[in-house]
Amino acid sequence: MTTDLSTHPLVQHYLTILRDRSTQASEFRRCSKCITEVIMVEAAKQLSLDLMQVQTPLEIADGARLSPGVVFVPILRAGLGMLDPAMGVIPGSSVGYIGMERDEATAEAKCYYAKMPDFRASTQVFVLDPMLATGGSAAQCVEQIKAKGAKNVNMVCITAAPEGIAAFEEAHPDVSILAGKIDRELNDQKYILPGLGDFGDRLFNT
């Protein structure tokens, strides 16, 4: 199942700035942070709570806190732009890292680095990648995560192509996708249209 947040006013606002080719790196990073926070607030609806009581200045009140066990796995390098704001929304989370590099000739992804926490105690895993294009990197990442024991996995991205969503859902029908916007299509070079260019290059000004 894919959730598209494109009707959210803040998603529309920040995505427009990200798309603009004149947006400089510092502003690009700021808007990446802001749009990730909006998307993660929506993603957090899936989290479980531990009920508790707290002493207010006046009396005891019923309350709740997030259950532990949330893990973020950003796909390097672009996913790093989503990590800090995601952890700001859901503090106390663990982090795993996976590096996926796309072969520009074949558009196929290869893993070059993986460092994961123990997923046996995890309650929810969020894979972070700003752009779901062909779906190959994300599918390989989730495959590795599942192999290490992760049960509840969600894919979180800023933009996604219909082709990438279809490929990812075929590989992992049990994993939900949360996207800021579903874009139109991929071009012949497998880049998202209208897209926003190379997210990693624009994020890190390279």
In the chain, which ranges are continuous DSSP H helix? 9-19, 25-43, 80-89, 136-147, 162-171, 199-204
Active site residue 103: no
Q: Is the pTM higher than 0.85? A: yes
Among 50, 65, 103, 106, which one carries the catalytic annotation?
A: 106
Is 201 considered catalytic here?
yes
Predicted pLDDT at 105? 65
Catalytic residue flag (residue 198)? yes
pLDDT value at 104 more than 70 = no
| Known catalytic membership, residue 102 | yes
DSSP secondary structure letter of residue 165: H
CB-based burial label for 47 (10 Å; 0-12, 13-18, 19+): middle
pLDDT of 135: 92
